[in-house]
Structure 1
Amino acid sequence: MSDDDQQEQGLADSTDVYVEPAAPDPFLIDSDASDEETELPPAVTPTTPNVNKDMPPPPSESEEEAPEMYLPGLVLPTMFLPIPNTDPLTTLLNKYIHPPERRPARDVSGEWQKANFHTMVMSNSWRALARMARDRIVTADPEDLALVLACLSRLRLFNQTSVECTNLFSVLNAVEPSDAKSYLFEKLLPFELEVMYARLKFWAGDHMTYLDALNGLLRKCKVKSRRAPKSDPTSSAMWRERGARISLIIASQLMEMKEFGSSTKLLESLCNQTEATSALRSAIARIYLQAGYIHKASTHFSLVEQDPEAPEGIKDMNRALLACANGEWDYATETLTDLLEKEPENFVGIETLERALSASPASVVVAEPFLFNLSTLYELRSATATQKKLELLIEVAKWSGDGLKASCLKMASN
């Protein structure tokens, strides 16, 4: 018996073996083409969303007649919870910034009548957008279901509470007869709302159920892509792209759960079915490094190294990370030093971040990782940390709008 066989036998005999969650297999061409539920077309590589892509045309009346639906439950004011007129940033300002005259004026009223949708989005006025959507929904004609659902789909731009989303799907799931319910879910309900509904499990802290819900959406994307008529390739491509996006969400969740093996398996399956980008290969390799699998990381780093289209900056960073993992500190130092000389702005430092904040505050303060990194660097410079973080809080309060996760400033709110 070989060593590998002995190890497998030892694991089989163990009564307390950790079983890693199985990673779904996104959009591979299944071996059994006769299985109608699993036969799938090849996937597309996840890329930057193409905002100019063709959208599948809506079904004509001759193809499928829309059933009559009347859902007054969708426009009841009780569907929504009160929108608070304060936020965590206001709490931090009241606690840390004195006298009150130093606190920037912030509009938390949520008034939207004098602003347009685009302006509110660009200024991160999510509270006003929430109130606008709510006001429009509760005054809409229940017969105009497409308009109601279009307004609801805009709510994906800000935090929607679990209660509101659960209320919505309770009404939708109660639709009768069954053919009307099927038409509603298949033709009218925005896919983003289904993703949001799955995310309720994440908000509740039930990560395994969240993965189950995402896997259900992934399976739906597979089936929809396969069943799309050959005369409508745009629809098939749309569902394949949605499936790739869901796969990346699943991989991200697995990473958050420290399930590095499942995450890499899922991402590698995307690489194996189409030409992978150097960024995706590098990300997989870095996950392997984080998990301690240096040999597997080296395999992906080598593929990036051989890619003539991969940016040199990515290659240099990959070399430095692999050198660190192997304890080759001199080579890592030399490589990173050369990288800084080639790209002097491509590093994290207090002066660099502060220059970016000064040059474009409205766009920078909404990037929570940016604020977290800057706050961390201030803490490392312990002599001035408190004062610098207070100054950062004031600047963020001037420009951030609504919805910022205040914990990125690393300041206690209680």
Structure 2
Amino acid sequence: MTRYTRSQILMTPSDHILELINLWYARLLALVKLGQYEMAQAELDQLGDLHGPQYRYENYAPDSFAVQGVQSIEQPQGDGIRRGCMVPFEMLVLRARLQGYLGDTYEAIDQLYDLIMRSKKFEAICQVNDDLLGIKQWQDIAGQLHLMVLNYLVELKDYPAATKHARDLSKKYPLDVNFQSGLGRLYLQLGDLVRAEEVFKEVETMVKSHRSEAEQAHFRLQLTMNQALLAVTQGQWLSAKAAFEEVLAQEPENLAATNNLAVCELYAGQLNEAIPRVEKLMFAYPTSAGTSEPLVFNMATLYELRTEGSFRKKQQVMVEVSKWAGDQFNVAMFKI
């Protein structure tokens, strides 16, 4: 994909600005997926200020562009001229997340907050135009950006700020199962099991009281995952194992469930089940499971605990992972 998009960029006329932007977005996304973060940043720098005049609709002939995907654009004014930035909003999010991949977490948070303010601006525009679908869309986008900020705060181990942020979000989105579950899981990380259990119970009540049967079915796996994680922190390995198996019966590619199930089987003394389970997932979904650093690390640990010739086994895993993982993959995960 990186080679293809590069060739397409070189062949595309310079006045096809929107097409070029979309090609650059595809290339940058591919580079990030491959772990080529420095190269992605270097090429992003070449594009200059993504909010600059060269990326403004009003600086080009009217009706020259079609809206594709979620664009950070303003609504047409009375003169019929489209105004605003033509860069896809997803590309701006990718730029912010790239800072996190490069280790500049604070810059990533700053850029995410800027995007949150922009999404609120576009939501307000939709409200003026009675665009209910647009309002919901930008509200959802703002919510996802808030979750990214929360994850970065946890990554920084700034738990007081993370807890405050999560509480503010839970008040802003009181009926949002994802936010409430995230708050409960944050309490698990902080070791506050009592509060985590209370939040998970509130989430269950919320789903049963305010959701249709179809929605309840949709969130059932999430509720099961919440209870499984709670059981892990309480050392109830067999209960957690049963819950994770229930999740995997519906979502066999769920990395978090498989990883945690392997840990449960380890503590329950069931290594003969844990090893083939993780191996099966890694080889069935090589681009996701096979490049997951925590999963690879646990796989190497299981080999050391159980398998004779663990060094050879870990070398085989390293060869398989190298087919799919980018250059940024932490080789220490192989424990070689």
TM-score (norm 1): 0.56
Distance 1:358 1:314, change over 3 A: closer
Is 1:373 aligned to 2:271, yes or no?
no
SS of structure 1 residue aligned to 2:47 = helix
Equivalents in 2 of 1:254, 1:157: separation in Å? Answer: 26
Give the secondary structure class of the aligned counterpart of 1:142.
coil
Contact 2:123-2:135 within 8 A present in 1 as well: yes
Q: Match of 1:388?
A: 313
What SS does structure 2 have at the residue aligned with 1:248? helix
Do the aligned residues in 2 keep the contact of 1:305 with 1:315 (CA within 8 Å)? no
Paired residue for 1:214, among 112, 134, 137?
112
- The answer for the alignment partner of 1:175 in structure 2 is 54
Matching residue's letter, 2:224: G
Q: Is the 8 A contact 2:119 2:139 kept in 1?
A: yes
Q: Percent identity?
A: 21
Deviations 1:173-228 (A, max 9, x none): 36399952998982421112212332354345332232111111111111110122
Change (3 A) 1:375 1:258: same
**Residue identity in the other structure for 1:247:** H
Q: Quick one: distance in 2 between partners of 1:188 and 1:178?
A: 6
User: 1:189 aligns to what SS in structure 2?
Assistant: strand
- 1:277-292 correspondence runs (5 A): 277=177, 280-292=179-191
Give SS of 1:188's match: strand
Structure 1 residue 364: Cα displacement: 4.1
TM-score, normalization: structure 2?
A: 0.67
Cα deviation, residue 256, structure 1 = 0.5
How far apart in 2 are the matches of 1:321 and 1:358? Answer: 26
Mapped to 2, the partners of 1:267 and 1:142 lie a distance apart of 45
Q: Which amino acid aligns with 2:42?
A: V
Distance change >3 Å, CA 321–CA 390, structure 1 → 2: closer
Aligned to 2:162: 263
Distance 1:362 1:171 in 2: 30
> Is structure 2 residue 148 aligned with structure 1 residue 276?
no
- Which of the pair has the greater relative contact order for Cα pairs under 8 Å at 6+ separation? 1
| Structure-1 separation of matches of 2:243 and 2:234 | 14
Structure 1 residues 3-402: aligned runs within 5 Å: 129-155=1-27, 156-159=29-32, 161-170=40-49, 173=52, 175=54, 179-180=58-59, 186-228=84-126, 229-272=128-171, 273-277=173-177, 280-306=179-205, 307-308=207-208, 309=216, 310-311=220-221, 313-314=224-225, 316-321=227-232, 323-324=234-235, 332-333=236-237, 335-336=239-240, 339=243, 347-348=261-262, 349-359=274-284, 361=286, 364-381=289-306, 383-397=308-322, 400-401=323-324
Aligned-residue offset at 1:394: 2.8
Contact persistence 1:224–1:239 (CA under 8 A): yes
Shift of 1:243: 1.0
- 5+ residue gaps, structure 1, are 1-128, 325-331
Which runs of 5 or more residues in structure 2 are unaligned?
33-38, 61-72, 75-81, 209-215, 250-257, 263-273
> 359-368 vs 296-305, which deviates more?
359-368
SS at structure 2 position matched to 1:286: helix
1:161 aligned counterpart, secondary structure: helix
How many residues are treated as equivalent by the alignment? 275
Aligned-pair CA distance for 1:407: 1.7
**Cα distance 1:358–1:222, how it changes in 2: closer, same or farther (>3 A)?**
closer
Q: Is the 8 A contact 1:221 1:239 kept in 2?
A: yes
Residue 406 of structure 1 is matched in structure 2 by: 329
Deviations 1:75-129 (A, max 9, x none): xxxxxxxxxxxxxxxxxxxxxxxxxxxxxxxxxxxxxxxxxxxxxxxxxxxxxx1
| Paired residue secondary structure (1:284) | helix
The one-letter code matched in structure 2 to 1:223 is K
In structure 1, what is the Cα distance between the partners aligned to 2:248 and 2:131? Answer: 49
Structure with bigger gyration radius: 1
Gap change, CA 1:385 and 1:213, over 3 Å in 2: same
Give 1 or 2: higher helix fraction: 2
SS of residue paired to 1:197: helix
Q: Classify the secondary structure of the residue corresponding to 2:309.
A: helix
